[in-house]
């Protein structure tokens, strides 16, 4: 069954697209998707499918600003959600080598006062504002349980092994962005800091290492109304469920929404990461994520590159609704949360509780 215009519009709202190119060209994949009303795009400096040997979307500050201006102009929305990972330190897409200011890692900042983190985050937010980027997929609020963790600890992405200290620094990071009109996204729920594997590569199980203390940073920031969005982790935590968090209703709907009280936008980690693709097909993963409470699906095109990924997702979700595997009301709820997030950005009311 082909999606009607209203259904297609709602499906596009819940997609975040990664793409190749330093500029927007007429009729290319991203131009077509943005013009049609896709909810978000995400920028990277290097291209995953090429083994990180090719560039992706970043060459210089002028080029990135021009790219973002083109993307905003092509979108039917007053502001397209343009996302990027700018935690600081190693996870930083706008690097010094491209002409951007240096940044500090979360671990380094965590040894100081939260005011220093505010000032460092203010520098990042200023950089994003000048570029036309309005959604920072940061801060990382994972607790530094395992300093040798290949994806968190070893990359200095956690502020501290103390969850309360993580919460304080993350709050400073968020406030600095809000003061400059930039949305943020806490990651990776329900906690990736204790893992011994990298979920980019494959199966990652934190059952024996995770504790509920890893929820504290999420809980504290939700209580303070400082959470615009939350990103899921592709980790398996059998203390909570037997499937990765991204496709777990127990973890998203029950734990994050019901227990912690978060009713804002939930964004999946990249649906092309090994922890998902090596166990589930794209259709099963997309339907599972939406049914579990994910609102925005990150189709970053960094595992493999699919020119038709948007149309594939539209077909998958349309078929799921037609066959009863996904309720249309669940899709509309997700699209509604994303519209509300965009409205808060457009109306500059980022201090409102999501």
pLDDT tens over the chain, length 354 residues: 567 889 999 999 999 999 999 999 988 999 999 999 999 999 999 999 999 999 999 999 999 999 999 999 999 998 899 999 999 999 999 999 999 999 999 999 999 999 999 999 999 999 999 999 999 999 999 999 998 888 899 999 999 999 999 999 999 999 999 999 999 999 999 999 988 755 454 457 888 999 999 999 999 999 999 999 999 988 889 999 999 999 999 999 999 999 999 999 999 988 887 657 778 889 999 999 999 999 999 999 998 999 999 999 999 999 999 999 999 999 999 999 999 999 988 776 666 555
Q: Which fold has domain 5-346?
A: TIM Barrel (3.20.20)
Contact status, residue 80 vs residue 345, Cβ threshold 8 Å: no
Cα–Cα distance measured from residue 255 to residue 239, given in angstroms and rounded to the nearest whole number:
12
Taking the model in full, what pTM does it have?
Answer: 0.95
Which among 169, 177, 188, 200 is annotated as catalytic?
200
* Residue located via tokens 């997609």: 15
Residue 149 neighbours by CB distance under 10 Å: 23
Residues present in the chain in total: 354
What is the rounded CA–CA span in Å between residue 354 and residue 352?
A: 6
First-last CA distance in the chain: 35
**Cα–Cα distance between 235 and 202 in angstroms, integer?**
10
* 46 beta partners: 55
- As given in the structure block, the two tokens for residue 259 are 């227990």
200 is catalytic: yes
DSSP H or E run through 40: strand 40-43
126 is known as an active-site residue: no
- Torsion over CA of 171, 174, 175 and 176, rounded to 10 degrees? 120
Q: List the structure tokens of 67.
A: 């790219």
Q: Which residues pair with 298 in a beta bridge?
A: 16
Q: What angle do CA 316, 320, 324 make, to 5 degrees?
A: 175
Task: Identify any residues that bridge with 184 across adjacent strands, giving them in sequence order.
Answer: 136
> Choosing from 47, 198, 269, 295, which is the catalytic residue?
269
What the block records as the tokens of 23 is 């500029």
Give the containing element (helix H, strand E) for 216: helix 216-223
Looking at residue 1, its pLDDT comes to 54
- Taking the C-alpha atoms of residue 310 and residue 308, their distance in angstroms, rounded to an integer, is 6
**20: which 2 tokens?**
């190749």
User: Domain coordinates of the chain in residue numbers?
Assistant: 5-346
Note the pLDDT of residue 200: 52
Under DSSP, the state recorded for 252 is: I
Distance of CA 325 to the CA centre of its chain: 25
Least Cα distance to 48 among 85, 5, 97, 98 occurs for 85
**How far is residue 152's CA from residue 285's CA, in Å, rounded to a whole number?**
24
Tokens of 338: 């994303």
Which segments within 73-203 are labelled E, that is strand?
81-84, 86-88, 91-92, 135-136, 183-189
Measured distance CA(47)–CA(221) in Å, rounded: 33
CA angle 264, 340, 79 (to 5 degrees): 120
């Amino acid at each position: 069954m082909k999606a009607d215009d209203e259904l297609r519009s709602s499906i596009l709202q819940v997609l975040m697209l990664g793409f190749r190119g330093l500029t927007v060209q007429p009729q290319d994949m991203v131009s077509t998707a943005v013009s049609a009303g896709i909810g978000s795009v995400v920028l990277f400096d290097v291209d995953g499918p090429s083994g990180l040997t090719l560039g992706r979307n970043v060459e210089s500050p002028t080029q990135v600003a021009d790219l973002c201006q083109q993307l905003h102009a092509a979108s039917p929305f007053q502001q397209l959600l343009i996302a990027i990972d700018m935690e600081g330190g190693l996870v930083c897409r706008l690097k010094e080598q491209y002409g951007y200011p240096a940044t500090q890692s979360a671990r380094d900042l965590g040894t100081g006062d939260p005011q220093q983190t505010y000032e460092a985050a203010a520098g990042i937010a200023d950089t994003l504002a000048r570029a036309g980027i309005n959604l920072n997929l940061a801060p990382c609020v994972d607790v530094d349980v395992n300093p040798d963790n290949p994806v968190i600890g070893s990359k200095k992405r956690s502020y501290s092994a103390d969850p309360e200290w993580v919460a304080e620094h993350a709050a400073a990071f968020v406030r600095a962005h809000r003061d400059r009109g930039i949305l943020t996204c806490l990651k990776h729920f329900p906690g990736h800091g204790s893992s011994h594997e990298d979920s980019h590569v494959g199966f990652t199980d934190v059952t024996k290492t995770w504790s509920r203390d890893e929820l504290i940073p999420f809980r504290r920031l939700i209580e303070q109304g400082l959470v615009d969005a939350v990103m899921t982790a592709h980790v398996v935590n059998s203390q909570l469920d037997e499937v990765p968090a991204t496709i777990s209703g127990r973890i998203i709907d029950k734990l994050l929404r019901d227990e912690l009280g978060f009713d804002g936008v939930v964004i999946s980690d990249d649906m092309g990461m090994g922890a998902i693709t090596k166990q589930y097909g794209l259709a099963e993963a997309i339907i599972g994520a939406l049914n579990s409470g994910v609102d925005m699906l990150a189709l970053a095109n960094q595992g493999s590159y699919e020119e038709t990924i948007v149309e594939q997702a539209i077909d998958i979700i349309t078929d799921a609704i037609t066959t009863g595997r996904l309720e249309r009301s669940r899709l509309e709820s997700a699209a509604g949360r994303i519209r509300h997030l965009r409205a808060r950005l457009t109306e500059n009311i980022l201090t409102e509780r999501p």
